[in-house]
Amino acid sequence: MKNKKIKAGNLIIHIILILYSIITLAPLITVFSSSFRTIKNQASPLILFMEFSMESYKAAFTKMAFPVVFMNSFLTTAGSLVVIVIIGAAAAYPIGRLQTKLSKFLYYFFIAGLVIPAQMVIIPVAQMFNSLNIPYTRFTPMFMFITCSMPFTTFLYAGFMKGVPVEIEEAAYMDGANLFKRFTQIVFPLLKPATVAVVITQGIWIWNDYFFPMVFITKSRQFSLPVAMIQFLGDRENPAQWNVLFASCFLCALPLITLFLIFQKQFIGGIAAGAVKG
Amino acid sequence: MKKKKKHKSLVMTNKMFWFAVPAFLMYFTFWIFPVFQLFRYSITNFNGINRNYDMVGFKNYITLYKEGTLFHAIPNTIIYAVVLVAVSNIIALALALLLNANIKGKGIYRTAAYLPTLFSAIVIGFIWSYVYMPGNGMIATIMDSLGMDGSKFNILAGFKSALYAIIAVDIWKCIGTTMIIYLAGLQTIDSSLIEAGKIDGCNGWQMIRLIKVPLISATITINVILSVINGLKAYDYVFIMTNGGPGKATNTLMYSVYKLAFTEQLMGKSAALSVVAFILIIAVTICMLIFMNKREVEM
């Protein structure tokens, strides 16, 4: 009797979840299937997977100069992440370890910036770039990517730092290790789960961000992937252009989706880690 | 060597603060200092390019008030934040509770709910422009095939519906992350408490309301705070899908700030609006922290 009840309950759960998944995925699947059509095919996109052609992908590939913009995106994202991990973990070291007023101040100082929207400070920031004589290149947005990642990164590292026993460091101190050595060779390697979480969460938003590159980059050879998409803005109202537009949408998202499908466990764990540790 | 005696710990010395210097400098120069600059720009007629500007006093604030920019941007932003927070958290929590049950194919459902999070806002804007498109769009076509009149469907052009249509897109995107955080929170619940509940004869709903939800109140706090911050920053889908239109129906604070600065080149006015937005954001955050802290203790 009880078993039957549980089975009926599970069935209802499955039905709800399937319905939810269909509603969530419907736009993505429709767009995905249309991206495999020939450019001229204007039949309703709701007829799923009616043909399989790479023509739209080829057109999108050349229109957005995919290899160039992909490399730009890849270099800025990877470069930013390296700097974020290094200076973020370092900044969290005193915040997580010391119990002084200054360390508390730093903690709230970094967290407070989380509420500031990028649109608000963008012009003063541009003025700052001018006065510091920072040229506008494909790497200029990296300054902002690194800066904007600091609240979450220091918060996460400081949280994980509490799980690294102080005794290990004391032992290293007895063995004559200086501060720098203790941090780089003992504490930082033990923070690997935090590093994974930082790389995943910050990597996703940096890869997808279009605002900073859009403001700071004017030459199309320096565009990142999402900014290269902005030139399609006029095409979205025109059904004749849809198949190419949809193909470019998936070209833009493909790298992250591939990484997600390979490292699913790390992605889910990384996203959860931030909130649970806090 | 003499100095060391002053510190409590020989190992954890104040020298550690040197590690924070690079991050601090960068963060201060490119994030905190610019906020203070805004206060200065807000009383000038700076256009964003020409550095020879004059002080104009509170003129910018007065124009913002007189033109009514404040009276549609602030309510729009607040509606955006409230709807986003309420709907996305309720759906995400419900999903997490369902996924936390012992069922097959959990991973597939989780992936399905999470997938939208991986797309760039610009791509999502394009995809949903197609979904909402009148005539040939996805929803209009589905309505046609169901025998309803799809040709009248034009949600982004309606003064009342456009804002909600855009919020729906944001909800669709952010549920994945929120759900994952709730799921992680639910998994930290000690299974002995669930067992105890079962022995005491809790039914499913009582279990959720009286045991599970109170136990993840810290997770709820974090998710609500994160979505409120997200909602107050609302900008992406307004920029990509409606440009603030029809009329000013979807003008949010951040979109107005952007438009004043970049399209109309009125940096002084944009800075004044930023200051107003900044005060609003700080006020909301502080109220929320106080309220949430109180609730968590009560629970």
- Within 182-201 of B, beta carbons closer than 8 Å to A belong to 183-185, 188
For residue B55, give the DSSP letter: B
B27, B97, B181: which to substitute to probe chain A, counting the most A Cβ within 10 Å? Answer: B27
Rounded-to-integer distance, Cα B172 and Cα B158, Å: 20
Domain hosting residue A76, numbered range: 65-231
Q: Name, in order, each residue with C-beta under 8 angstroms of A56's C-beta and a sequence gap of 6 or more.
A: A35, A36, A37, A38, A39, A243, A244, A246, A247
- What's the CA gap between A216 and B70, in Å, rounded? 28
DSSP β-bridge partners for residue B55: B44
- Note whether A144 contacts B: Cβ–Cβ < 8 A: yes
A265 lies in some domain: no
Between B287 and A44, the more confident residue is B287
User: Hey, which residues 122-151 in chain B have their CB within 8 Å of chain A?
Assistant: 122-123, 126-131, 133, 136, 138, 141-142, 145
Lowest mean pLDDT among A13-17, A219-223, B112-116, B169-173: A219-223
Facing B261 at nearest CB: one of A117, A123, A128: A123
Note the maximum CA span of chain A.
76
A1, part of any domain: no
Mean pLDDT (chain A, rounded): 87
Is residue B55 predicted with pLDDT exceeding 50? yes
For B193-216, write each residue's pLDDT tens digit: 888 888 888 887 888 888 888 888
Alpha-carbon span A71 to A77, nearest angstrom? 10
Quick one: what percent of chain A has pLDDT higher than 70?
Answer: 96
> What would the mean pLDDT of A164-168 be, rounded to a whole number?
88
Q: What is the pLDDT of residue B6?
A: 45
> Which residues on neighbouring strands pair with residue B142, listed in sequence order?
none
- CATH code of A149's domain: 1.10.3720.10
Angle, helix B106-114 to helix A2-34, in steps of 10 degrees: 40
| pLDDT at B297 (0 to 100) | 56
- Among A172-186, A255-269, B6-20, B80-94, which stretch is predicted with the lowest mean pLDDT? B6-20
**Residue B45 included in any domain:** no
Which among B160, B175, B163, B165 has a CA at the least distance from the CA of B85?
Answer: B175
Q: Which of residues 36-55 of B touch A (CB under 8 A)?
A: 37-38, 41, 48
Residue A41 has pLDDT above 80, yes or no: no
Whether the pLDDT of residue B99 is over 70: the answer is yes
Q: What pLDDT, on the 0 to 100 scale, is given for residue B74?
A: 92
**Tokens matching residue B139:** 């929803």
Q: A28, A95, A102, A119: which to substitute to probe chain B, counting the most B Cβ within 10 Å? A: A119
Interchain CB contact of B275 with A (< 8 Å): no
pLDDT digits (tens, 9 = 90+) for B204-252: 788 888 888 888 888 888 899 889 999 999 999 999 888 887 888 889 9
Q: Which of A93, A115, A117 sits opposite B285 (nearest CB)?
A: A115
In percent, how much of chain B has pLDDT > 90?
38
In-domain check, residue A85: yes
Q: Are B64 and B269 in contact (CB under 8 A)?
A: yes
The ipTM of this complex is: 0.89
Q: Is A120 close to B123, i.e. CB distance below 8 A?
A: no
Q: Indicate whether A257 belongs to any domain.
A: no
Would you call B110 an interface residue with chain A, using a CB distance cutoff of 8 Å?
Answer: yes
What range defines the domain where residue B86 resides?
A: 68-118+164-298
In a domain, B47, yes or no: no
Q: Are B117 and A239 in contact, with CB atoms under 8 Å apart?
A: no
A247/B contact by beta carbon, under 8 A:
no
Chain B, nearest residue to A129 by Cα = B30
Distance CA B14, CA A97 (A): 10
**Tokens of residue B233, six digits:** 């920053």
For residue B130, being part of any structural domain is answered with no
* Domain assignment present for A22: no
Arithmetic mean of pLDDT, B148-156: 79
CB contact under 8 A, B122 and A229: yes
| Residue A46 belongs to some domain of the structure | no
- Using the predicted structure, report yes or no on whether residue B120 has a pLDDT greater than 60: yes
Instruction: Note whether A130 and A191 are within 8 A (CB).
Output: no
Average pLDDT, chain B: 86
Whether residue A28 is contained in a domain is answered as no
Distances (CA, A) of B210 to A15, A132, A234, B198, B216: 26, 57, 52, 12, 11
Residue B291 pLDDT grade (very low, low, confident, very high; cuts 50, 70, 90):
confident
- Counting the structural domains of chain A, the total is 1
Q: Is the dihedral of CA A243, A249, A253, A255 positive or negative?
A: positive
| Residue B155: both structure tokens together | 């949600």
What's the pLDDT at A4?
66
Q: Say what the alpha-carbon torsion angle B186, B192, B195, B200 is, to the nearest 10 degrees.
A: -110
- Are B122 and A230 a contacting pair at CB < 8 A? yes
CATH number at residue B103: 1.10.3720.10
Instruction: State how far residue B233 is from chain A, nearest Cα, in angstroms.
Output: 6
Whether the per-residue pLDDT at B3 is higher than 50: the answer is: no
- Give the mutation candidate from A17, A23, A32, A205 for the B interface (greatest B CB count, under 10 A): A17
Half-sphere exposure of A64 (CA within 13 A, CB side): 32
Contact B11 A170 (CB under 8 A): yes
- Which pLDDT value is given to residue B7? 47
Q: Quick check: B281 contacting A, CB < 8 Å?
A: yes
What pLDDT shows up at residue A145? 94
- In sequence order, the β-bridge partners of residue B44 are B55
Number of domains comprising chain B: 1
Return the DSSP state at A98: -
Q: Which of A261-265, A274-278, B256-260 has the lowest mean pLDDT?
A: A274-278
Mean pLDDT value across residues B155-170 = 91
| A217 CB-side CA count, 13 A | 27
Per-residue pLDDT, averaged over B133-138, amounts to: 84
CA–CA dist B207, B94 (Å, integer): 13
For residue B13, the chain A residues in CB contact (below 8 A) are 179
Asked if the C-beta of A117 comes within 8 angstroms of chain B's C-beta atoms, the answer is yes
Q: Model confidence over A196-214: pLDDT tens digits?
A: 999 999 999 999 999 999 9
Output b/e per residue, B127-162; b: 16+ Cβ within 10 A. bbbbbbbeeebbbbbbbbeeeeebeebbbbeeeebb
pLDDT per residue as tens digits for the range A169-204: 888 888 888 888 889 998 999 999 999 999 999 999
- Binary contact (A237, B12; C-beta < 8 A): no
What SS3 state is found at B44?
Answer: strand
Q: Is A11 part of the contact surface with chain B (CB cutoff 8 Å)?
A: no
